[in-house]
Amino acid sequence: MRKKGKRIGCCIFLTVVMFMLAACGNQSGDNREGESIIDREGFPITVPTEIETIVSIGPSNTEILVGLGFVDKIIQADLHSADIPGISEEIASMELMSPDLEWIIDLDPDIVFVIGMTRVQGDDDPLRLVSDAGIAVIYMPTSTSIADIKEDIRFIANVLGADEKGEEVVAEMTNEIERIREIGESIIDRRTVYFEISPAPHMFSFGSGTFLNEMIEVIGGINIFADQEGWIGVADEVLLEANPDVILTSVNFMDDPEGEIMGRPGWDAITAVQNGDVFTIDTASSNRQSQNIVRALREMAQAIYPDKF
């Protein structure tokens, strides 16, 4: 049975879980031996000789597949992939956390790409029934660095026999990141940044060991939570003491997230609020581990240093 669930506020949940699962190991995708390979999470799989139909569970997987030119081969995707160009809501109708296994088996795709967070329920292989039916299932990791995201792209390209296109996508991504990094390294007066993923009263941000922290560093900014690790809860008094120069938010389920931040009691003492330096960053490109993080990187750069970018 098809499941059409709602997507309200899900990006926050997906992002929190993404970092909570960041301990998953990453492995090289260049382990092809005939048709047998080790996937990015260390599981042995057999890749079909020909891949004509794909099921994508996880918007980051879907974005990579689309970027590699395989949108026409995607016959089913998850609900959160519906905003990706080329993916219709009719195709993107599968639950992310509890995909309908019988439905996948009935679709009989050549391969299924699954985001690692589907294992949040504690099952090492929640799609075991699908793989037992003879369908190749590949789990992708919760990548925590820009380098790991590049390896995800290379790995998927390798599986699909599109290594050249994979290198092209990675090269375009790398060139833009390095262009921004060069400008960022030239900045002397570095600004402090607070990036909010979940709003009050349950505020969340991130520290080191995340690709978003790495992006702030590329730009030449200073994450006020860089001395902490992974995903963190935030208290008002901590923000007031840190007094960031710039506040970024990727919250997308309220009408005016910037206004909500600037109107919080006591926050008028924060430099970013006083100067109106509160900006919304695209949720999808800042939350998903794909080549599209460069879009968020550009937005972040322009927000933090408008005179440089």
pLDDT of residue 170: 98
Burial of 258 (0-12, 13-18, 19+ CB in 10 A): middle
pLDDT of residue 207: 97
Between 60-64, 101-105, 254-258, 266-270, the lowest mean confidence (pLDDT) is in 254-258
The DSSP letter of residue 33 is B
* 10-161: CATH class: alpha beta
Question: Whose CA is closest to 93, among 104, 106, 83, 81?
Answer: 81
CA–CA separation, 213 and 300 (whole Å) = 11
pLDDT of residue 23: 41
Distances (CA, A) of 264 to 149, 253, 300: 35, 17, 22
Q: What is the mean pLDDT of the chain?
A: 88
Has residue 141 got a pLDDT over 90? no
What pLDDT digit, counting tens, does each position of 25-46 carry?
444 334 333 378 888 877 788 8
What pLDDT digit, counting tens, does each position of 190-208 carry?
999 999 999 999 999 999 9
Has residue 3 got a pLDDT over 50? no
pLDDT of residue 36: 83
Q: Which residues contact residue 166 at a Cβ distance below 8 angstroms, ignoring those fewer than 6 apart?
A: 68, 153, 154, 156, 157, 158
Three-state DSSP at 136 gives strand
pLDDT of residue 118: 67
Mean pLDDT of 128-144: 92
What pLDDT digit, counting tens, does each position of 51-70 carry?
999 999 999 999 999 999 99
pLDDT of residue 188: 95
The strand pairing partners of 232, in sequence order, are 205
- Given the candidates 3.40.50.1980, 3.30.43.10, 3.40.50.150, 3.30.930.10, the CATH classification of the domain at 186-304 is 3.40.50.1980
Higher pLDDT, 14 or 255: 255
Mean pLDDT of 120-128: 73
pLDDT-derived band at 24 (thresholds 50, 70, 90) equals very low
Q: Where are the domains of the chain?
A: 10-161, 186-304
Tell me if 217 sits within 8 A of 295, measured CB to CB.
no
Has residue 47 got a pLDDT over 80? yes
CA–CA separation, 177 and 306 (whole Å) = 17
In terms of pTM, does the model score above 0.85?
yes
pLDDT of residue 19: 47
pLDDT-derived band at 13 (thresholds 50, 70, 90) equals very low
Identical fold, 10-161 and 186-304: yes
